[in-house]
Chain A
Amino acid sequence: MGGYILRRLLSAVPVLLGITVIVFLIMALIPGDPATAILGSYATPENVARINRELGLDAPLWRQYLIWLGNMLQGDFGQSFALNRPVLDEVLERFGATLILAGTAFVLCSLLGVIAGTISAANQYGWADKAITFTVLLGISIPSFFLGMMMILLFAVRLRWFPVSGMWPIYGARDAAALISHLAMPAIALAVVATGVIARLSRSALLEVLRQDFIRTARAKGVHERSVIWRHALRAAMVSILPVLGIQAGFVLSGAVYIEIVFQWPGIGRMLVDAILRRDILLVQGGVIVVAACYVFFNIIVDVAQSLLDPRIRT
């Protein structure tokens, strides 16, 4: 087991390097004088000189990349000119808020999606299946930002169940209750699409498994249908559901950008959009790399979970 985790971690190294190469190349796309583009409206002569020195912009491209990578490995992601603070500090601070939001949404969509998909498969063509299938279709068709806005109208403005936006109350204690009441709507709005996708795939994964011989064996043993579905079939189906959860984690992380804008959540998505609009390129670059790296590690966790679930792939 330990060996497997180690090998999986090592295999992440080229992926992480690839990510930095891609981000570097995209940034190299910026037309015109890079230093001026990176600095945007902050392009004072001193700043331009500093950027040119930091990035070694007179060197060939591969040298530039190595310098840039070396700096990042030492924790130096550069300086945000708009915020006038180190990129890494800002990114890590914002990323915490995003993790709370996306993590909650991910737990929600995984649980609800798998449960809904299982109920749907167990009652194939029954009314529960039809109701779930239709709800899922609605869920994957509605833009999450629109859903979020409508939730604000209904639950925050009309019913006053939840605060309109933000992560913490402006006045009052920053305790768990306050966080949960602020978190509820954005987390749900963010989870809806992924819930739909997961429910769909869980349903077909279960239908696939339910036709297999070992399900018939379980029934022949006299095992109750409830545990035939929820123990035998679901466990086997999880082998193909888990990778989907890994992929959906990426979509949840992506969708957080919209939800953070709609609900004024102080996360990294909002930071990225603001940074793009202000042309604060180094901040964008740092944010993208940190989030992507985090996603790579999350997928390692999924793989390890997969190997725990399926003894056949453990070596």
Chain B
Amino acid sequence: MTGAFFLFSRNRLALVGGIVLCLVVLLVLAAPILPLTDPDVTNTANRYLPPLSEGALLGTDHLGRDLLSRLLWGTRLSLAVGFAAAAIAATIGAAIGVIAGFYGGRLDNVIMRGVDMLMAFPYILLALAIVAALGPGLLNALIAVAAVNVPFFARNIRGITVGLAHKEFVDAARLSGLSRPQIILTEILPNVLPVIVIAMSTTIGWMILETAGLSFLGLGSQPPQADLGSMLGEARAALISHPHTSVVPGVMILIIVMSINLLGDGIRDALDPRLKSGALSRPMAATRVRRQAPAPEPNLEGILTVEGLETEFHVGPRKLRAVGGVSLSVKPGECIGIIGESGSGKSVTALSVTGLVASPPGVITGGAVRYRGDDLIGAPYERLRAVRGREIAYIFQDPLATLHPLYRVGDQLVEAIKAHQKIGTEEARGKAVELLRDVRIPNPERRISDYPHEMSGGMRQRVGIAMALANDPEVIIADEPTTALDVTVQAQILSLLDDLRRSRDLAIIFITHDFGVVAQLCDRVAVMYAGKVVEEGPTKAVLAAPRHPYTARLIACVPELGGGRRRLEAIPGLPPAVDRLPEGCAFAERCNKARSACREGHIPLAQEGDRAVRCLFPEEAPAREAAE
């Protein structure tokens, strides 16, 4: 009951559907006690009375019968037949599905083959064949409609039963000595029942339509008995001269089926957890921007500067602050590493630069991202698009997921080139081959017509790099580009990136969770924790003498620099959830130097020469005042 309440409070259309359906059902249930004329009494003197005539609210039909009365009785019949067909199809289909799914093996095989055969028929054809064999009549039409829907139920329920048949509680029941029919009744059935009900609610409208359809064709209810379909069928002869006799039953079918569909959609939506979490939302072309304050004044130098960036995820009423005021900068020819655990906000920072954070739920709520002094946050879409790939290009992790699976890599490269350069396809193709050669892919003329799934992981990542280079960008943001690769390939890719940076004077922002990689490639490094930079400085200096306890622990986890993958999760404890950030230092929970002062209020990033650290009691540091 509360479930139904939540459903309706969320979905007003489903509520409307439910109310209308209830009204219709109540009305037709009351038909026997309403002051209606007999639906079958003919009165040829009063043929085709228009609606609102005296004594006939909706008019009369070709035999002078009262349309309102016929409508209510016809609706009663149609609803009953529709529900009965759905119930029969569900019962038989579910029984077949449960047996096939539970017993499995040969029996399952034979049954499902049969079901597939039945589904190979165009739907109504099978119904027609059955009616042809049994002869026209409402009962036969009902049987036909139910029969053709059995395979649908059987297939659905079988799938679910197969899943259940191997669950622990079923095994337990088996061990306790229950027979198989007993297990089906006591363990399986209660679990598939909800699914059966949902499947029924989505097909019942369809079955009402189908039985009405058979009656419309004259194969269902036979005169004088009439359901909505046969009323419409009889009225068709007078469609042009007396349209109201057709409109009345037709509109009724529409109302019933529509309200059932609304209700069914509402039920389905209410049961789909993905809808609630917003996981079915489509990410927009650029991240939404809702800056709480004007952009900060520029005070960092570099071709790309990030200042006070704040990015949040708005999920329902919750606001998760993924990036909480990050500042960074990078100069041409420089490589800066951002290092942190998953969830530290390093990728979100990188994606925020050109508005690529999925939105919804992402929202940029503050800060500035300046490319050559120009703020990109809140820039119009066309400006962002001109920057993306042309000025600032990305290399992503796992190119099997980040390259389009259905286009040849050459076509994807050509597209990247033509997105920013007005050249012909042939010329772009030539350039694409060159790019593949630049990233040291052997046989580029041949590989260009490969699909991503035909390449090795290392080759795919080279394609990803080639794509990033396609328009000679100034800045490359590489988001864990080597994480999915094995150690040798990883080393090759890193040295390739290093060469490219030197030969093209590229600025690189390199995101990773691996200090080894940082040591190989990056001039400077920024360590992120819970959405904030906690330490920054030249790579060598930071590695030699980490100031933040977190950095020190990270480095301690890497016994040999550059020695492959090492997971940061080796540090005990977990980073705090970004919607429940503690007061003061976010690392306090896991820090063995934490004191009470650490948990009191904001701790600034203290600059000291070319290094910066966000800690009250940094490692091996000259004594400093705690306050300030």
Contacts and interface: CB of A to CB of B under 8 A. Distances in A.
Interface of A: 15, 18-19, 21-23, 26-27, 29-30, 121-122, 124, 137-138, 140-143, 145-146, 149-150, 152-153, 157, 164, 204, 206-207, 210-225, 227-228, 232, 235-236, 239, 250-251, 253-255, 257-258, 261-262, 272-273, 275-277, 279, 281, 284-285, 288, 291-292, 295-296, 299, 309-312
Given A206-B282, A284-B132, 10 more contacts: A19-B121, A137-B262, A143-B212, A143-B232, A143-B257, A152-B239, A211-B282, A217-B402, A273-B219, A299-B120
Query: Which 5 residue pairs are nearest across A and B when measured between Cβ atoms?
Result: A222-B389, A18-B117, A146-B250, A254-B124, A141-B258
Contacts of B205: 141
Most chain B CB inside 10 Å of its own CB: which residue of A23, A26, A207? A26
A29 B356 CA distance: 63
B48 interface: no
A19 B129 CA distance: 12
Given A214-B404, A235-B406, A311-B451, A292 B282 contact: no
A276 B282 contact: no
Contacts of B467: 217, 221
Given A149-B250, A150-B250, A261 B217 contact: yes
B258 A224 contact: no
Contact of B356 (A207, A216, A312): A216
A218 B358 CA distance: 13
Nearest to A215: B283
B250 A137 contact: no
Nearest to A147: B250
Contacts of B123: 250-251, 254
Contacts of A281: 132-133
A296 to B, nearest CB: 6
23 contacts: A15-B116, A15-B120, A18-B113, A19-B121, A121-B282, A141-B257, A142-B254, A145-B216, A149-B250, A210-B282, A216-B356, A217-B467, A220-B389, A221-B389, A221-B393, A254-B124, A261-B216, A276-B136, A279-B135, A285-B132, A295-B121, A296-B120, A310-B405
A220 B476 CA distance: 11
Contacts of A279: 132, 135
Contacts of A292: 120-122, 125
Most chain B CB inside 10 Å of its own CB: which residue of A150, A210, A222, A299? A222
A18 B404 contact: no
B490 interface: no
B1 interface: no
A143 B254 CA distance: 7
A223 B243 contact: no
Mostly, the A contact residues are helix
A229 B603 CA distance: 44
Nearest to A214: B404
B154 to A, nearest CB: 15
A255 B217 CA distance: 12
Contacts of B136: 276-277
Contacts of B124: 254-255, 257
Given A213-B402, A254-B124, A157 B282 contact: no
B130 interface: yes
Contacts of B213: 143, 145, 258
A141 to B, nearest CB: 4
B597 to A, nearest CB: 42
B386 to A, nearest CB: 7
Contacts of B232: 143, 145-146, 149
Contacts of A254: 122-125
Interface in B104-141: 113-114, 116-118, 120-126, 128-136
B439 to A, nearest CB: 16
Interface of B: 113-114, 116-118, 120-126, 128-136, 205, 209, 212-213, 216-219, 232, 236, 239-240, 243, 246-247, 250, 253-254, 257-258, 261-262, 265, 279-283, 285, 351, 354, 356, 358, 381, 385-390, 393-394, 396, 398, 401-407, 415-416, 419-420, 451, 453, 467, 470-471
Most chain B CB inside 10 Å of its own CB: which residue of A140, A214, A227? A214
A216 B257 contact: no
Contacts of A288: 121, 125-126, 128-129
Contact of A221 (B116, B283, B419, B453): B419
B404 A218 contact: yes
B402 A216 contact: yes
Contacts of A19: 117, 120-121
Given A30-B133, A284-B132, A291-B122, A221 B404 contact: no
Given A141-B258, A146-B253, A211 B219 contact: no
A6 to B, nearest CB: 20
Contacts of A257: 124, 128, 217
A254 B129 CA distance: 12
Contacts of B239: 149, 152-153
A41 to B, nearest CB: 13
A219 B388 contact: yes
A103 to B, nearest CB: 14
A265 B327 CA distance: 72
A27 B126 CA distance: 11
Given A29-B133, A146-B254, A212-B401, A222 B261 contact: no
Contacts of A276: 128, 131-132, 136, 219
Given A19-B120, A121-B282, A221 B415 contact: yes
B130 A26 contact: yes
B218 A277 contact: yes
A140 B29 CA distance: 27
B122 A310 contact: no
A214 B120 contact: no
Contacts of B390: 222
Nearest to A123: B282
B175 to A, nearest CB: 39
Given A141-B205, A312-B405, A153 B240 contact: yes
A160 to B, nearest CB: 12
Contacts of B404: 214, 217-218, 232, 235-236
Contacts of A204: 280
Contacts of B282: 121-122, 124, 206-207, 210-211
Contacts of B398: 213
Nearest to A25: B133
Given A29-B133, A222-B390, A292-B122, A217 B407 contact: no
A310 to B, nearest CB: 6
B122 A253 contact: yes
Contacts of A224: 385, 419
Contacts of B118: 22
B74 to A, nearest CB: 14
Most chain B CB inside 10 Å of its own CB: which residue of A23, A145, A221, A261? A221
Nearest to B254: A142
A294 B271 CA distance: 38
Contacts of B470: 221
Contacts of B386: 222
A150 B250 CA distance: 9
A288 B125 CA distance: 6
A254 B394 CA distance: 50
A204 B257 CA distance: 22
Contacts of B129: 23, 26-27, 284-285, 288
A311 B404 CA distance: 12
A210 B283 contact: yes
